[in-house]
Amino acid sequence: MSTLQREFMETIEGLSDDTMRMLLEVVRQVVLPLDHKENVGVPSKQQGRLRRMGSLKGQKLISEGYDIDESNDEIAKMFGV
């Protein structure tokens, strides 16, 4: 084990399981390339799609047909622009 690996292990030691699961999810979805061994056995159609993370995984944030630009004036007012 390299010095950097040891330092990482010492850093995460004592973190809660929930925090470590979140870190693992971030590493898998953001840091590791799609062809990494963690993705071996994952169907290619899942590997190629947009990867989302966290509590919004798989959820749409804006309904179909909604024009987000309709709210620009209201948002500008809120921020005093």
**pLDDT tens-digit map of 34-46:** 556 655 555 555 5
pLDDT tens figures, 55-79: 555 566 677 788 878 888 998 999 9
**What's the sign of the alpha-carbon dihedral 48, 53, 58, 59?**
negative
Which amino acid type is present at position 60?
A: K
Quick check: 30 and 53 in contact, CB under 8 A? yes
pLDDT tens figures, 7-20: 989 999 999 999 99
Taking the C-alpha atoms of residue 38 and residue 67, their distance in angstroms, rounded to an integer, is 38
The encoded tokens of residue 58 equal: 């798989």
Taking the C-alpha atoms of residue 11 and residue 29, their distance in angstroms, rounded to an integer, is 21
Residue 63's pLDDT is what? 76
The encoded tokens of residue 14 equal: 């004592």
